[in-house]
Structure 1
Amino acid sequence: MNTGRILTVWGLTGLILSACNNRQHNGTTDSLAIRQQYAESPVLTAAQSLEKIEVEDGFTVQLVAAEPMVVVPVAMTFDERGRLWVAEMTGYMPDTVGTGEDARNGRIVILEDTTGDGAMDKRTVFVDSLVLPRALSIAGNGLLVAEPPKLWHYEISGDHAGKKTLVDSLFTTGGNVEHQPNGLLRAMDNWIYNAKSDKRYRYDGGRWLKEETHFRGQWGISQDSYGRLFYNNNSENLLGDYFSPGLGAGNPNQRKVDGYDENIVPDNKVYPLRPNTGVNRGYMKGVLDDSLRLVNFTAACGPLVYRGGLYGAAFEGNAFVAEPSANLIKRNILDNGGYAVKGRQAYKGKEFLASTDERFRPVNLHLGPDGTMYVLDMYRGIIQHKTYLTPYLKGEIGARSLTQPLNCGRIYRVVPAKSNPQPVKITGNLVAFLDDANGWVRDKAQQLIADGQDKQWVPALQARLRDLSKPIGAMHALWALEGLHALTLADVQPLLEQTTDALLRSQAIAVLPAVINSGNRAVVAQTLEKLMADSVQAPTATLVLPALRKTDAAAAARLLQQAWQTYPNSKVMAGAVISNVKDKEAQLLAAVEAWNPDTTLIIRRQLKKVLTDIANRRKSNMDEALLKEYPRGNLIFKTVCQTCHGADGEGIQSLAPPLNHSELVTGKKERLIAIVLYGLTGPVQVNGKLYKAPEINGDMPGLISNDEFSDADIAQLLSFIRNAWGNKSDKVIEKEIQQVKEKYKGRVKSFTMEELK
């Protein structure tokens, strides 16, 4: 779960190791007194824990469900009847070594409010005996369930699981519980997207489609009213896309397409109500302030762009982010400017919602059919997976008895004060619901139309498209027609020609791949040529050129040339252009150089970078001989390292720097062994480039306390990465691992680059 760097617990061990011993807070209370004040972490009832929550004025928090009605909730969705479907990850970290984590005790349950008071009073088990279920989504007359490593589809038969179909046997490849795909968000474009993943899915005509998309986030994913996706990693507040999610991922040689995976809210400060000395690096300077509270995000997760229409105009389109390590939920305000989205924190010095109960662990946020924000609270002591559990944290758990209990879990909703909003139940005229004030209702109505494949809705949807007075409803009608495979260029053309709403126009461009054919390709090309003159629409127009190329390659080539010659110094346009030229980057670079010899042109610099990346991958010696020599090393790399450093060793933006051609990997063995055993805290310098947060995650945890891996295993892992991709260095042996352990015996904290030098 998005908690690979944190565990908010503390005790005597933390007192001994703390680097902020006896620092003053408000001139009177020192850190020792603060620790003594919070020396225990009692298990509270749901009612008691609710009293510990403080929320923004004008709102109140209501309990929706608590144990035994729900246990260890990690993901949820609603059906059209307003019932709540929940994934219960019961097997997560039963103790500090993960004993029994592979037990088949996970469940998908249906919770129902039969009295209308907002509290769930009926529980039905839909399917049980699952191993660590992590995501779910209602789609295709059934329920998608992510149960690593597979993605399943269960037909819904009388509130119980019917026929079971394997959608993807490799939904999660590698990684551990904290670093595996999740989300299953049905976006406006009718595709299902995930965090920690570069795959998307769609149910179409009785079959499941699977396609490559942009890699996004870590835990949790949301969309705004314009179908753009938002996500984060554990140390960054909010990341997101500027453009429709299905565009621009057609060139695997391109590591980053500008306009996707953008840092939307760069301010990562948090303002907890209580001390958080149990974070993984809590003893290091700068992690905690003088009051022993967390300074920046370490477990950002479960983002929600609020679209409920209930909280008031000031809250519409705000992005809320959960932070379980600091027991809070942050509010961010997003602004649209041109095609870009920028954001800022709503407050300084406080949060939208925070608790003084340490076991309050908000891990996911969802919009409900009543227009409120729902909060999934795992309510537990341990949220750190065993892969990264250090002796320091194990000591905290033991001192404070934080392993138990394991059978808790709560779900809350945040409502305007003195109100009891009721869920909208979607029946009858589905098209009318596309204009509802609640974004959840709009989404669900569109999904029901697409899933039903009933062409009776086509005339009403076409009529709705002709009314542009409510652009968001028109967007849903547009994609509902696409979902029915009934959209035509005649439906789209008026939206392309209108100039009053830029975001509606962008959606019309994004849907063009669904309607381009040999009969209308000339009209589409003429339209795109006009759109290229609009700097706001030009990126989206460029991103859809691969669809035009299928029917008119010459026109697509001409428009692509127009794109890079008109905007040669735009990063976003360069990214869009390069997404069109898979395996033809060298030819394009030659054309750019012939057109303009200026070496500073952004399009030229980005093309050179892509070509360098291609050359590095070609030097890779990840051959069968290496895999046979180090099979255990390859397995550990896929499980622990690949999810942050990438399968190609080139690193992943916002997570980790490259291992390929890294002097930290190929250099002195003792230094590399020390990093892997004890961890490394950034900034990190690799090949002359300084990587620091938020470009990468600030911390890499060590494996010194992970009983799962022997010294021989770690030696294999290091030998593997020292000879994978473009690396070639001598292997590491078990004795060298043992020597480094002896040299640093008793060390707990991670290394810094300064120490390693």
Structure 2
Amino acid sequence: MKKYCYPIFFLAISFTLFYCKTNKKTVTGQTTAEAIQKQEAPVSKPGLSPFIAPENTIAKMQVEDGFEVKLVASEPLVSSPVAMLFDDKARMWVVEMTGYMPDTIGTGEDIPNGNIVILDDKNHDGVYDDRKVIIDSLVLPRAICLIENGILVAEPTNLWFYEIKNDQAGKRVLVDDKYTEGGNVEHQPNGLLRAMDNWIYNAKSDKRYRKTGNKWEIEHTHFRGQWGICQDNYGRLYYNNNSQNLLGDYFPAGLGASNKNQRGVAGYNEKSVTDNKVFPLHPTPGVNRGYMKDVLDDSLRLNTFTAAAGPVVYRGDLFGKSFDFNAFVPEPSANLIKRNVLDPKGYVVKGKQAYKGKEFLASTDERFRPVSLYNAPDGAMYILDMYRGIIQHKTYLTPYLKDQIGKRNLTQPLSAGRIYKVVPKNTKAKQVTIPEGAGDLVKLLGHANGWVRDRAQQKLIDGKYNQTVPALREAIKQTENPLLAIHALWTLEGLHSLKTEEVLGWLRQPDWTYRMQGLAISPSILTPGSYQQIASAFDGMVNDNDTLAAPYIAFLCKSIEKFDFNVSQNLLTKLITKYPDNRYVADAVISNLQDREEVFQGEITASLNNAEVIFNKQLTRVITAVKSAQNNRDPAMLKKQFPKGELLFTSICQTCHGPDGSGVKSLAPPLNQSEWVTGNKDKLISIVLFGLTGPVKVAGHIYQTPEVSGDMPGIGYDKDMPSEDIAQLLSFIRKSWRNNADVITTDEVTKVRARLTGREKAFTEAELNGI
């Protein structure tokens, strides 16, 4: 039971590789709303969505006034790009997903034809002209991460580490054989962001990774996003799902995910920008539910995000002050890139769209499919464009969209791909290469370009530059350049050279910028000999009414608990007594209480006996959920009874409805104890076959956007999906958790399918109530 979405990895097939020089081309921007309205004729008519040569595509774009777009690579140099990284020489390592959906029925998706390639600008003119295949024969690769002497490669279901020497792939080590466990091709982990805290994070995942010596550590973290993940200058993570502009974390990435009984933690997966409106340059009828009310406006333009893809917080040094702390989000189904302006207030980060009625960059070319955005060594913003017509996976491809694809011949060609960069006009972006010298690397930790700072930190850690520790200690003392100090601090952490007194010094800083990082890095230096000093500092901050630090300290009590349970417990009690109506403190405290929720509730009652305070409400909600889950049915037994149903649930349903059937924030309502699941069989079969458009009432609560996605797709459009498998899926969810409804037979599914032959639209609640 999956929400409808556009995949952020699109179609291409393998092609004959030629090395060629990309033609240079630039486009400058028009900015008025009037200009946006004076665009090309609707592309819904046959023949009006042609394949455009790379040197001509950017002529179809409009970009913010004062900026220009430059083409830096295109086919046949690169094909089907979905992710990339720059290395120390400013070369691009690109992931080519050349096997995704070779046609509208997905024939041959399992063919190993994906690549990891290096693109190089040999003559340093700003256009990439050389291609080198590093790893080939991959099945739908989706993410990479350069680290130490090699590269992480995500190839479902595995995460591999390849040693790289002289641009040659050597020994391969399996890091995680369940990297993409669960989810279909549209809903599997990706990202592999090497964050400021020296851990590697993912979108559509609740795992993080770190290499320590020859060992790979894998830890549980918050489940985040769908396609793409990035960070700001202070290490906070940002991501989205296909219908949400931008989501993010207010607090450090590694905290607050320790209570499996807690559904959602305040300050994580927050709506950084709540406005999801988009402004395409041209009619965009080729979206999967384009026939539905409000999906398109009166001019056939998409109304809101339906395929939000890999975002980036711009951290370069070219765009100017007004672009500091701006987040850009691509929308491939509407051929545009959104600009958002973020505004931090304390630990809360909220933002708004930069414009009304227009976008930072948009194109009238329907095949322009921006899927991921990147900061870069030259300070520009880079765009990966898969350049294709089809962007919907077969599982959710409606007859309406198939018709749109056919009318405009959008299937072919399948071998394209473009990479652009956006720069201010009349500037010459100069690539920064990362040196080998230890002193030079330390200096680069304070560079104005965030990409350069990140890469210098990573190189110092990867190369074990322990000789730089004295210089790093000096860097964290200076206050002229806070970003230099912050990166130096985390570099010391990565070199395992950070001292307790250094962290204590940061905790005493009057400037929140420093205290925030001191709190975030505290778990790294906690030992049996140091925890008392840190706990004492935390206690002093609470006594001094450091409201900003309060939720951080509550999260960090989990790290103290392993050394002294009583000290941790006393801090939690003091915090929640002082801040009972602060939802961030409340959830941070609860994150410490796995399987001790009721005990803590009893202990705190004497000093906090008002049932209406936020903490008591939140804690009671968790306790109720725990008791409910205790009555859940045995999942192992159900898997044995309905093997095909369990497999379908895992691959199609659980990423939106949750493995426990309780629903997922911003995605989908609960299946557990839902009357739609346990009630009328024909209604449930109809929903799964053709989808459901909200709002919908479940257990007395009305679910609608933005609380959940406005539309759940059906799987009946896939004619190859056996009725037996659908019957098993529905029987599985009707028997799972606390549900105990009758099974659904293959004949019952077959009869409903026959009755609904020819249907294209998703159901509404009103329609279903008439069944």
TM-score by length of 1: 0.95
Matched with 1:548 is 560
Partner amino acid for 1:369? Answer: P
Q: Is the 8 A contact 1:307 1:438 kept in 2?
A: yes
Output one character per residue of 1:70-110: Cα deviation in whole Å (capped at 9) or x when no partner.
00000001111111000000001100110010001000000
**Is 1:306 aligned to 2:314, yes or no?**
yes
Aligned-residue CA RMSD in angstroms? Answer: 1.9
User: Which amino acid in 1 is paired with 2:554?
Assistant: T
The CA deviation at 1:400 is 2.1
Residue pairs, 1:286-325, within 5 angstroms: 286-325=294-333
Distance 1:7 1:131 in 2: 16
Q: Does 1:51 align with 2:59?
A: yes
Larger deviation, residues 606-615 vs 431-440: 606-615
Provide the rounded CA distance (Å) in 2 between the counterparts of 1:683 and 1:125. Answer: 48
Of 339, 347, 357, 2:347 maps to 339
1:534 to 546, 549, 572: 546
Displacement of 1:739 after TM fit?
1.9
1:451 equivalenced with 2:459 (yes/no): no
Q: Which residue of 2 aligns with 1:112?
A: 120
Which digits, 9 at most, give the CA deviation of each residue in 1:624-681, with x for residues without a partner? 3322221111111111111111111111111111111111101110100000000011
Which moved further from structure 2: 707-716 or 36-45?
Answer: 36-45
Aligned to 2:520: 510
Name the CA shift for 1:33/1:368 in 2 (closer, same or farther; >3 Å): closer
Question: Matched residues in 2 for 1:716 and 1:339: separation?
Answer: 46
Cα distance, 1:121 vs structure 2: 0.7
Structure 1 range deviating more: 195-204 or 612-621: 612-621
Pairwise mapping of residues 491-640 of structure 1 onto structure 2 (< 5 A)?
491-500=502-511, 502-532=512-542, 533-640=545-652
- 1:404 — aligned with what? 412
- Superposition deviation, residue 593 in structure 1: 2.7
Q: Secondary structure at the match of 1:162?
A: strand
Alignment partner, residue 415 of structure 1: 423
Partner SS state of residue 619, structure 1: coil
What corresponds to 2:474 in structure 1?
A: 463
Contact 2:115-2:138 at 8 Å conserved across structures:
yes
The SS at the match of 1:62 is strand
Alignment of 1:354 onto 2:362: yes
User: Structure 1 residues 409, 36: CA separation in 2 closer, same or farther (over 3 Å shift)?
Assistant: closer
**1:154 aligned partner:** 162
- Distance apart, 1:7 and its partner CA: 8.6
Say whether 1:665 aligns with 2:673.
no
Question: What do residues 422-452 of structure 1 show as CA deviations (whole Å, max 9, x unaligned)?
Answer: 2111112211011000000000011111111
Q: Indicate if the aligned counterparts of 2:40 and 2:282 stay in contact, CA closer than 8 A.
A: no
**AA in 1 matched with 2:736:** A
Q: Which residue of 2 aligns with 1:13?
A: none
Q: Aligned partners of 1:102, 1:738: CA distance in 2, in Å?
A: 29
1:377 pairs with 2:388: no
The DSSP-based 3-state class of the residue aligned with 1:374 is: strand
1:482 is aligned to 2:482: no
Deviation at 1:475, TM superposition (A): 1.0
Residues 668 and 32 (structure 1), Cα distance of their counterparts in 2 relative to 1, 3 Å cut: farther
Alignment match, 1:22: none
Contact in 2 for aligned 1:73/1:86 (Cα 8 Å): yes
Which letter does structure 2 place at the counterpart of 1:101? E
Aligned to 1:100: 108
Aligned-partner Cα distance in 2 for 1:654–1:648: 16
Q: Is the 8 A contact 1:7 1:280 kept in 2?
A: no
2:704 aligns with: 692
1:114-263 correspondence runs (5 A): 114-263=122-271
- Which residue identity lines up with residue 492 of structure 1 in the other structure? V
Q: Secondary structure at the match of 2:216?
A: strand
Aligned residues of 2:46 and 2:407 also touching (Cα < 8 A): no
Residues 430/676 of structure 1: CA separation in 2 closer, same or farther (3 Å cut): same
Change (3 A) 1:567 1:36: closer
Structure 1 residues 32 and 211: CA distance shift in structure 2, 3 A: closer
Deviation at residue 531 of structure 1 after TM alignment: 2.0
SS of residue matched to 2:484: helix
What residue identity is the alignment partner of 1:473? L
Conservation of the 8 A alpha-carbon contact between 2:40 and 2:364:
no
- The alpha-carbon distance between structure 1 residues 570 and 36, as it changes in their structure 2 partners (threshold 3 A), is closer
Counterparts of 2:312 and 2:441 in 1: how far apart (Å)?
Answer: 25
Q: Following the alignment from structure 2 to structure 1, what is the Cα–Cα distance between the partners of residues 164 and 42?
A: 52
Give the structure 2 partner of residue 394 of structure 1.
Answer: 402
Secondary structure of 1:612's match? helix
Distance 1:38 1:99, change over 3 A: closer
In the superposition, the TM-score normalised over structure 2's length comes to 0.93
Match of 1:274 among 272, 282, 285: 282
Residues 595-642 of structure 1: CA deviation (Å, up to 9, x unaligned): 232111111111111112212222111343322221111111111111
Distance 2:326 2:142 in 1: 25
The answer to whether the 8 A contact 1:4-1:385 is kept is no
- Alpha-carbon separation, structure 2, partners of 1:169 and 1:244: 27
654-663 or 238-247, which deviates more? 654-663
Is the contact between residue 3 and residue 383 of structure 1 (CA under 8 Å) also seen in structure 2? no
Q: Partner residue of 1:720?
A: 732
The secondary structure found in structure 1 opposite 2:104 is coil
Report the more deviating stretch, 665-674 or 613-622.
613-622
> Match of 2:728, as an amino acid?
Q
- Change in Cα spacing, 1:711 to 1:290, as seen in structure 2 (3 Å) is same
The alpha carbon displacement at 1:31 in A equals: 14
Which whole-Å CA distance do the structure 2 matches of 1:405 and 1:34 have between them?
21
Shift in alpha-carbon separation, 1:3–1:473, aligned structure 2, 3 A: farther
8 A contact 2:573–2:604 mirrored in 1: no
**Distance in 2 separating the partners of 1:206 and 1:463:** 30
Alignment deviations for residues 502-527 of structure 1 (CA, whole Å, 9 cap, x no partner): 12211111111111222222221121
Aligned to 2:30: none
Amino acid at match of 2:337: I
Counterpart of 1:719 in 2: which secondary structure?
A: helix
Contact 2:289 2:295 in 1 (8 A): yes
Task: Give 2:665's aligned residue.
Answer: 653
Q: 1:50 is aligned with what amino acid? A: I
Secondary structure (helix, strand or coil) at the match of 1:314 reads helix
The Cα of 1:37 is off from its aligned counterpart by 6.0
Aligned pairs for 1:64-83 within 5 A: 64-83=72-91
What is the alpha-carbon distance in structure 2 between the residues aligned to residue 7 and residue 514 of structure 1? 38
1:117 touches 1:420 (CA, 8 Å); kept in 2?
no
CA distance in 2, matches of 1:30, 1:373: 27
Counterpart selection for 2:441 from 430, 441, 450: 430
For the residue of structure 2 that corresponds to 1:301, the secondary structure is coil
Q: Deviations over 1:115-157 (max 9, x none)?
A: 2221111111010000000000101321000000000001111
How far apart in 2 are the matches of 1:270 and 1:356?
14
Cα distance in 1, alignment partners of residues 464 and 568 from structure 2: 32
1:295-329: CA deviation from partner (whole Å, max 9, x where unpaired) = 10000111100010210000011000000000000
Identify the range of structure 1 (713-722 vs 591-600) with the bigger mean alpha-carbon deviation.
591-600
Q: Which amino acid aligns with 2:763?
A: F
**Which amino acid counterpart does residue 137 of structure 2 have in structure 1?**
S
Query: Are 1:7 and 1:325, in contact at CA under 8 Å, matched by a contact in 2?
Result: no
User: 1:418 offset after TM fit, Å?
Assistant: 2.0
Give the match for residue 31 of structure 2.
none
5+ residue gaps, structure 1: 9-25
